Amino acid sequence: MMRTRPLKVALLGCGVVGSEVARIMTTHADDLAARIGAPVELAGIAVRRPDRVREGVPAELVTTDATALVKRGDIDVVIEVIGGIEPARALITAAFEHGASVVSANKALVAADGAALHAAAEANGADLYYEAAVAGAIPLVRPLRESLAGDKVNRVLGIVNGTTNFILDKMDSTGAGYSEALDEATALGYAEADPTADVEGFDAAAKAAILAGIAFHTRVTIDDVHREGLTEVTAADIASAQRMGCTVKLLAICERAADGASVTARVHPAMIPLTHPLASVREAYNAVFVEADAAGQLMFYGPGAGGSPTASAVLGDLVAVCRNKLSGTTGPGESAYTRLPVSPMGAVITRYHISLDVADKPGVLAQVATIFAEHGVSIDTVRQQGKDGEASLVIVTHRAADAALSSTVGALRELDTVRGVASIMRVEGE
């Protein structure tokens, strides 16, 4: 039998995502009630600019006093889609203290302070759900946290930022340079006016921290994630990848060490073979590849951002949290029992693609090969091109530690015959 008294929901933020959440809650009210077992009522919407026209949003629900809204004793669930660290953190904490559960899309806050938020939720018998914080409409948090809870996840490898994937896809398919591809992404609305969070990898790093923490049952914050953006990726890098039968993607990579004693989390551009499933992810789409002991290889694919996709994930969490409210239970909280340390980037082992500008004369290749050997980095392939006294060496290594490769490159820079290191890129996904 359906409960007649509605569950009351407070919405913090009514921008692109928040307005879509409000619209769906209104237009799909009957379906949501049937799925939850009780009606849900939008009881208030906190915004910064109340005079802005918001089509379909009841004006009487709009308030600028977010603190008063979350502290109302009758609010059952708070949906937070304002983003950033503060005031989101204070508002979410206040919501817990006043008996409400929270659904959030705030990747930055969860990645920076997830442990404290989970502790506050647990202390107050509340839920904290954040499916929308990682990959938009793609169900990823819940499968890792629940469906794979009985398995051992060893690796999570993914494209988790649509803006950067669009840029790299255009560079690959059209031969455009980075700036030209970014301009197109901006014109089409895929890139913000200030794209720093996307192109410098901050957005993907926050998502990597969340994924690593859930996948490996340990605490990982954004400060633990090695981060490199794509602003230094050139058309020449893309062309080199194509000659190798690869493409370039900005990847979030979370791995459990072979001995199981530590984990790593990193975000950086990498070449991946065209045969890998992630290579075919085009435009602004996201995809995440999960490798687990029993389940094997799984791939999650779909739109990773935008108002409607993100709202879909928020509403999915809302249904789950409301069901928990009705049954007097809470869903899964933080699972950090393994307490695994996060290893530095220097310990990561992978392959590398290095392009060197060198003097075009006998013995240069031998000098370079000697440096690699002295630092314990094995060379897989070498391609050399020369003209008018200058040449380029393109070297692909076997798997080596990042620290060993860094010391190798440092030694190469000391050679008189090496004019410069044109680019270094990791090769992943094999």
Active site positions, annotated: 207
Place of tokens 């060490």: 257
Nearest alpha carbon to residue 355 among 239, 227, 252: 239
Q: What is the spatial order of strands in the sheet that 62-63 belongs to?
A: 62-63, 40-46, 7-12, 77-80, 101-104, 128-129
E strands, 13-57, are: 40-46
Give helix then strand counts, H and E, for the chain: 15, 17
Using CA atoms, how far apart are residues 7 and 42, in angstroms rounded to an integer?
9
Report the alpha-carbon angle 212-214-215, nearest 5.
65
H helix or E strand, kind and range, residue 298:
strand 296-303
Using alpha carbons, list the distances in angstroms from residue 15 to 47, 88, 307, 310, 375. Answer: 9, 15, 9, 12, 53
5 Cβ contact list (under 8 Å, min separation 6): 38, 39
206 Cβ contact list (under 8 Å, min separation 6): 107, 108, 110, 111, 112, 133, 222, 225
Place of tokens 């984990």: 263
Using alpha carbons, list the distances in angstroms from residue 145 to 85, 152, 342. Answer: 24, 11, 20
